[in-house]
Amino acid sequence: MNWLYYLLEANLYLCVFYAGYCLFLNKETHYTLNRIYLLLSCVVSFVLPVVQIGWLKPVETATKTIVIIPQTAYQTTVQKLTVRQTLTFNDIWVYAYILGIIVLTTVLFIRLYQLVKLTKVAKTLVDGKYKLINIEGSNTAFSFFNYLFIGTKTQVNNIIIRHELVHIRQKHSVDIVFLELIKIINWFNPLVYLLQISLKTIHEYIADEQTAAQESDAFSYSSFLVSNAYGLNGSPLAHSFFNYNLLKKRIIMLNQKRSGKLARLKYLVAVPICAGLLCASTLVFSKTYGFFDLMPQQEIVNKKLANTHIAPADTVKVDPVRIKKADVTSKGFKYEETGYLVNKKTDFRVIITEKNGEQKEYYKSKATPEELATLKTKYGYTFPKMLIYPKLPPPPPAPPANSKKPKVIDVKLPPPPPPANPEKIKKAPKVVEVTPVTPAAPAGPVPAVTERVPPPPPPADPFQNLYSYVAKHVRYPSKARLNHISGRVILTFSIDNGKINNVNIIRGVDQEIDNEVQRVVNDFDGNLSVKSGYYNIPVTLSLVDAQDKKYAYTPAKLYAQANTSAAKLSTTLREVVVLGYDPLTDNK
């Protein structure tokens, strides 16, 4: 069905070209350029679908394909299935298209036969090379190629003859036959019929313009057209002088002001139209009939690789694996299954061949539930559920370098002594008191005594110096003490090479308390052996009863909040509490 897609794409481009003519060029008096535009648009519309620009497409990564055909893993079973031929919707379209071609071709041959039959009548030469044929009992005037047909009831006038001779000299009949062939191929496109009418109208404009140039003025020629507007039309393949439907347009264009030279720039609109349609042919339509590539992608890739001193794509080592399998589904549809293994991930692609030869492609990783159901119910195919690639065991560990096995020496131990005979032992041995002697040191090495080593102390907090400095140097502001202001201040700072920088307050209590805490942290000049980054430190200022040493402001809730924040942010440090005496209890 690729030819049908090609035909539809060509007709789409033809519609775009004709729309450009109607919008920009229809009212211009450069009739010859209009004629060239319409004829070339018919040709270019059928050429663009087969032309591609490869460099517009994304560069495909080169892959190495390994086709594995195991003898035991997959065995394609060929079954002879009897498939009933059913008439599909695509078949109906094909038959209707062929029927339309047959009908229009028959009509064309009938019209040509009628014209050829008229040429058998006696003829008269005009200007030594054009043939004038008189049609008995007719009031018509038309031309076809080198033949000029005039009815005997028509008032023979030199103006009519000069008008039809312009059609003959300009070879307008060639355009008509060419448009008839285009119409046969694209009979289903209504714009083709409008394009044919536009081209015939341009032919009449050209003949009127050149004929009126030989008269005294355009007005007299217009009067002649009006007075001779009721003659009979000739063959649809010919150019008839008597065309009542075009009379008004011919008179308007004949008396219209001529288009200037700058108006010719409008015909450059064909350039962006061609460029846009060529890009659409490359990027929008996925097809297999793009035979001509103006700028192949592989040449662009090779030039880039050559500039960067990289080997071409066919020498790059890659490791995707593909395994192909071709078979027939349970419902008689041919399919080609391909398995991919890239970066230890498996995917499957299947190409189903319809009864009419159309192929449809599905991927397991991208298929929707509806597509999976269609594959199972309509085609009788289901994607494999298991990997089609055997998992190789890991390689054995390499032996350590310069390793030597210890040499094993077999040593024969002497047999144990025989047990003593109990019958010969009648009396217990005498016990002799012996003065204890200090045992001598053994000759061999003394075995080491295993002692339990205490665990190492926990590592010291690297921020301990900062905690101590803040607790020692922060002074409770007197105004805050008098107003009984207490609370927790949270500061953020950065550490670069062990030094504190960029100290800012992200949560404050009071202006004086905030400034005091920020001042002390800024003044810290110690070196912190921690990783560079941003840290938060909470500092709580609380008032305590001067007499019974009880807190006037209990910071238990603040400790809980600090611990919660520390759990969320790993850079939050321990909380430092600075105490101050309540002025009320201090004066008692």
pLDDT given for residue 423 in this prediction: 47
Own/partner contacts of 42-46, CB < 8 Å, gap of 24 or more, are: 42/14, 42/178, 42/179, 42/182, 42/195, 44/13, 44/17, 44/274, 45/10, 45/11, 45/13, 45/14, 45/17, 46/10
Same domain flag for 334 and 292: no
CB atoms within 10 A of CB 535: 20
Tally the domains of the chain: 3
Same domain flag for 142 and 7: yes
What's the rounded Cα separation, in Å, for the pair 106 and 373?
A: 47
Q: In the chain, what is the greatest distance between 2 CA atoms, to the nearest angstrom?
A: 175
Do 519 and 459 form a contact (C-beta atoms < 8 A)? Answer: no
pLDDT given for residue 132 in this prediction: 87
Same domain flag for 339 and 482: no
What's the rounded Cα separation, in Å, for the pair 156 and 169?
A: 20
User: Would you place residue 59 in the very low, low, confident or very high pLDDT band (cuts 50, 70, 90)?
Assistant: low
Backbone angles phi, psi at 130, to 5 degrees: -100, 140
Q: Which of 345, 363, 378 is the last residue of a domain?
A: 378
What's the rounded Cα separation, in Å, for the pair 566 and 572?
A: 5
- The mean-pLDDT minimum among 161-175, 260-274, 293-307, 484-498 falls in 293-307
- Residue pLDDT, tens place only, 285-294: 777 777 777 7
**Nearest CA-CA partner of 209 in 176, 157, 146, 253:** 253
Same domain flag for 246 and 135: yes
Give me the chain's average pLDDT, please: 76
Same domain flag for 16 and 161: yes
- Cβ contacts of residue 444 below 8 Å, gap of 6+? none
What's the rounded Cα separation, in Å, for the pair 486 and 191?
A: 86
Task: Give the DSSP letter of residue 129.
Answer: T
What's the rounded Cα separation, in Å, for the pair 343 and 319?
A: 8
Task: Classify residue 38: in a domain, yes or no.
Answer: yes
- Joined tokens for residue 215: 């008269």
The dihedral through the CA atoms of 258, 261, 262, 265 has a sign that is positive
Task: Classify residue 410: in a domain, yes or no.
Answer: no
Task: Classify residue 306: in a domain, yes or no.
Answer: no
Do 335 and 326 form a contact (C-beta atoms < 8 A)? Answer: yes
Say what angle helices 190-212 and 172-185 make with each other, to 10 degrees: 170
Task: Classify residue 81: in a domain, yes or no.
Answer: no
- Joined tokens for residue 387: 């990997």
What's the rounded Cα separation, in Å, for the pair 479 and 511?
A: 11
pLDDT: which is higher, 156 or 512: 512
- Residue pLDDT, tens place only, 372-417: 888 888 888 888 875 544 444 444 555 555 545 545 444 455 566 6
pLDDT given for residue 196 in this prediction: 93
Do 39 and 178 form a contact (C-beta atoms < 8 A)? Answer: yes
pLDDT given for residue 374 in this prediction: 87
Same domain flag for 106 and 169: yes
Task: Classify residue 448: in a domain, yes or no.
Answer: no
CATH of the domain at 509: 3.30.1150
- Residue pLDDT, tens place only, 436-459: 545 555 555 545 545 566 666 666
Do 463 and 530 form a contact (C-beta atoms < 8 A)? Answer: yes
Task: Classify residue 95: in a domain, yes or no.
Answer: yes
| Helix-then-strand count for the chain, H and E | 16, 15
- Cβ contacts of residue 184 below 8 Å, gap of 6+? 101, 104, 105, 108
3-state secondary structure of 11: helix
Same domain flag for 487 and 364: no
Same domain flag for 276 and 330: no
Residue 143 lies in domain: 1-56+89-231+242-296
Q: Which of 260, 277, 296 is the last residue of a domain?
A: 296
Task: Classify residue 456: in a domain, yes or no.
Answer: no
DSSP string, 50-105: GEE-GGGSPPPPP--------TTT--PPP----------HHHHHHHHHHHHHHHHH
Q: Which of 359, 378, 397 is the last residue of a domain?
A: 378
Same domain flag for 268 and 350: no
Same domain flag for 331 and 276: no
State which of 29-33, 83-87, 227-231 shows the largest mean pLDDT. Answer: 29-33
What's the rounded Cα separation, in Å, for the pair 324 and 364?
A: 15
Task: Classify residue 313: in a domain, yes or no.
Answer: no
Same domain flag for 179 and 247: yes
Do 34 and 25 form a contact (C-beta atoms < 8 A)? Answer: yes
pLDDT: which is higher, 295 or 442: 295
User: Would you place residue 86 in the very low, low, confident or very high pLDDT band (cuts 50, 70, 90)?
Assistant: confident
- Cβ contacts of residue 16 below 8 Å, gap of 6+? 273, 277
Same domain flag for 335 and 292: no
Do 320 and 340 form a contact (C-beta atoms < 8 A)? Answer: yes
